[in-house]
């Protein structure tokens, strides 16, 4: 079979690319190895309210479990910082429905979609990648395409087989484990995050409410930790006397949080989303980043096809690095500083901030936050803390 | 010579999340929707997959060298 574009992977980035390219009138096939697109997920399902308008995604209640109004942060000794907005700031999705609907929008726009179709390898002709060797159920298929989009998630197999270097060492990943479970005692209008080097080394524990008494309760820790993410989550639940007796679902996965693939295009092959490690390194969320990368990639795919000039695809690398890549590099810098915080630092900072102007913090004005912290006597007496904070300015 | 190992999966723990395939430097692990596959010839015994697994589903066994 032959298409203008073949997209490998129907998570977040894949369907955005497939939809946009199909809308422009080009033939697209999107394949996914899953037999039900969206299942299983590797996600805590929280996303900013802004993405729906920005990426032209219907605000459809069928995939929105709950609207949330902000976040509550907890320090290792129990200091709390609440950031609550008047308006809805985000939603907790149902990825099983959301991903399938994104694929449906792509299909409606004209893309072909094949579930249970696993990409096995690239097809090369005269050294150039000309398509994808795949398997639909047990039937081998060969998909020839001008442009190949590797949106195949953290495994990133197709990008790597096409010769794009997406490899990262283990400390650049977080290891995650999550229950969807019944849980009580947490404000279901906020997401809740617990920090601490004993609680979740380099990461955090989260409670993302899907209902008044039902939530995604998960953890991310450094992937090169000798203990497992599951170990730390079960320990946290036990220590906080939260019964884990009503478990509706369990999800696991690795999250690339340590930097981004440099070359996002090789000839006619593009890599997007988790496969390109386009994830926010601070919180480990990658859906909005995948949508942004998918939007930029699809723009240049359409231009390259229109002008019959595949070298234009390189502009995806350029534009991404000049925009979202630049933003995420800054976030990564902050993440690397926060990695050095001790439990005492976290206690102090959250304690100080809870008494500060939370409006400013909630509006995301980091500079004001750092300045507020720098004024505190316990910070002023510690050259190490001053150095850490100044790195963030 | 460093000891060569083979990676084994505890299928009752594995969620087929694909993380091990993602961290493997040599593409020695493939995760299909129907199962986990280890490709011995590509493995360099680095054990990265074992520590990265979120649920501890992977372990090592010494590779039996054919006499």
DSSP notation for A75-110: -TT--EEEEE-SS--EEEE-HHHHHHHHHHHHHHTT
* Whole-number pLDDT of residue A378: 87
Residues of chain B with C-beta less than 8 angstroms from the C-beta of A247: none
Tell me which CATH homologous superfamily contains domain A170-256. D-Amino Acid Oxidase, subunit A, domain 2 (3.30.9.10)
- Residue A319 has a CB neighbour count (10 Å cut-off) of 17
Dump pLDDT digits (tens) for A292-333. Answer: 999 999 999 999 999 999 999 999 999 999 999 999 999 999
Residues in A closer than 8 angstroms to B42, CB to CB, are none
How distant is the Cα of B64 from the closest Cα of chain A, in angstroms?
26
* Pairs of residues, one from chain A and one from chain B, whose beta carbons lie less than 8 Å apart: 83
- Residue A379's nearest CA partner among A355, A354, A344 is A344
Cα distance between residue A253 and residue A259, in whole Å: 17
The alpha-carbon gap from A102 to the nearest alpha carbon of chain B, in Å, equals: 20
Q: Is A230–B19 a contact, with Cβ atoms under 8 angstroms apart?
A: no
Residues A85-130: tens digit of each pLDDT? 999 999 999 999 999 999 999 999 999 999 999 999 999 999 999 9
CB contact under 8 A, B53 and A224: no
Cα separation, A63 vs A61, in Å, equals: 5
What is the Cβ-side half-sphere exposure of residue A40, based on CA atoms within 13 angstroms?
18
* Residue A280 near residue A192 (C-beta atoms within 8 A): no
Question: Considering CB atoms only, which of A42, A176, A254 is closest to B23?
Answer: A254
- ipTM score for this prediction: 0.92
CATH 3.30.9.10 location in chain A? 170-256
For residue A251, the chain B residues in CB contact (below 8 A) are 15, 17
Consecutive 10-residue averages of pLDDT for chain A (393 residues): 98 98 98 96 96 98 97 96 94 98 98 98 96 97 98 96 93 96 97 97 97 98 95 98 97 96 98 98 96 98 98 98 97 92 94 76 72 86 90 82
Sequence-separated (6 or more) residues with CB below 8 Å from residue A386: A374, A379, A380
CA distance B5 to chain A (A): 19
B51 contacts on A by Cβ (under 8 Å): 170, 223-226
| CATH match for A2-45+94-168+259-322 among 1.10.10.10, 3.40.50.720, 3.10.580.10, 3.50.50.60 | 3.50.50.60
- Within chain A, all domains assigned CATH 3.50.50.60 are found at 2-45+94-168+259-322
The confidence score (pLDDT) of residue A33 equals 97
Q: What is the pLDDT of residues B1-32, one digit of tens each?
A: 567 899 999 999 999 999 999 999 999 999 99
Chain B residue with minimum CA distance to A178: B54
Q: Which residues of B touch A (CB under 8 A)?
A: 15-19, 21-23, 25, 27, 30-33, 48, 51-56
Residue count of chain B, please give it: 67
Query: In order of start, what are the domains of chain B with their CATH numbers?
Result: 5-62 (3.30.70.20)
SS3 sequence of A299-342: HHHHHHHHCCCHHHHHHHHHHHHHCHHHHHHHHHHHHHHHCCCC
Q: Please, what is the angle between helix A324-338 and helix A314-322, to 10°?
A: 50
pLDDT of residue A364: 64
The pair of three-digit structure tokens given for residue A10, joined into one six-digit string: 């129907």
Q: In this complex, do B22 and A225 lie within 8 Å of one another by their Cβ atoms?
A: no
Residue B25: its chain A contacts at CB < 8 A?
167
Nearest to B48 among A116, A170, A228 (CB): A170
Check CB contact of A150 with chain B, cutoff 8 Å: no
Based on the number of CB atoms within 10 Å of its own CB, is A141 exposed (0-12), middle (13-18) or buried (19 or more)? middle
Band of pLDDT at residue B63, cut at 50, 70 and 90 = confident
Question: Whole-angstrom distance between the N-terminal and C-terminal Cα of chain A?
Answer: 53
Task: Please answer whether residues B55 and B14 qualify as being in contact, where contact means their C-beta atoms are separated by less than 8 angstroms.
Answer: yes
């Amino acid at each position: 079979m032959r298409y203008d574009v073949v997209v490998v992977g129907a998570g977040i980035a894949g369907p955005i690319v497939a939809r946009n390219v199909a809308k422009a009138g080009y033939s697209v096939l999107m394949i996914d190895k899953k037999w039900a697109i969206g299942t299983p997920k590797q996600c805590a399902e929280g996303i900013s309210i802004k993405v729906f308008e920005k990426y032209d995604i219907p605000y459809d209640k069928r995939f929105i479990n709950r609207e949330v109004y902000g976040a509550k942060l907890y320090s290792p000794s129990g200091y709390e910082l609440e950031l609550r907005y008047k308006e809805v700031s985000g939603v907790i999705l149902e990825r099983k429905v959301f991903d399938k609907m994104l694929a449906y929008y792509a299909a409606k726009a004209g893309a072909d979609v094949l579930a249970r179709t696993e990409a096995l390898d690239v097809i090369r002709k005269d050294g150039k990648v000309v398509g994808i060797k795949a398997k639909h159920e047990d039937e081998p298929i060969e998909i020839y395409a001008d442009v190949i989009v590797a949106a195949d998630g953290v495994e990133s197999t197709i990008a790597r087989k096409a010769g794009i270097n997406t490899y990262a060492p283990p400390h650049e990943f977080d290891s995650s484990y999550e229950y969807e479970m019944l849980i009580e005692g947490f404000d279901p209008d906020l997401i809740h995050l617990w920090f601490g080097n004993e609680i979740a080394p380099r990461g955090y524990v989260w409670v993302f409410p899907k209902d008044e008494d039902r939530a995604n309760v998960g953890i991310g820790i450094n992937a090169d930790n000798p203990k497992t993410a599951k170990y730390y989550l079960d320990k946290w639940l036990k220590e906080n006397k939260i019964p884990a007796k009503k478990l509706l679902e369990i999800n696991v996965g690795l999250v690339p949080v340590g930097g981004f693939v440099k070359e996002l295009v090789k000839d006619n092959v593009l890599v997007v989303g988790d496969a390109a490690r386009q994830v926010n390194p601070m919180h480990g969320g990658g859906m909005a980043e995948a949508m942004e990368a998918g939007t930029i990639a699809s723009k240049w795919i359409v231009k390259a096809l229109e002008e019959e000039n595949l070298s234009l695809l390189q502009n995806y690398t350029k534009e991404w690095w000049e925009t979202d890549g630049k933003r995420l590099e800054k976030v990564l810098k902050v993440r690397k500083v926060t990695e050095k915080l001790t439990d005492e630092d976290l206690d102090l900072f959250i304690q100080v901030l809870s008494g500060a102007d939370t409006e400013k913090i909630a509006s995301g004005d980091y500079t004001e936050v750092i300045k507020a912290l720098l004024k505190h006597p316990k910070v002023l007496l510690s050259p190490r803390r001053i150095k850490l904070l100044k790195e963030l300015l | 010579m460093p000891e060569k190992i083979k990676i084994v999966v505890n299928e009752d723990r594995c969620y087929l999340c694909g993380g091990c395939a993602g961290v493997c430097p040599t593409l020695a692990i493939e995760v299909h929707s129907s199962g986990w596959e280890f490709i011995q010839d590509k493995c360099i015994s680095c054990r990265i997959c074992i520590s990265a697994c979120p649920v501890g589903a992977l372990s090592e066994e010494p590779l039996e060298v054919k006499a």
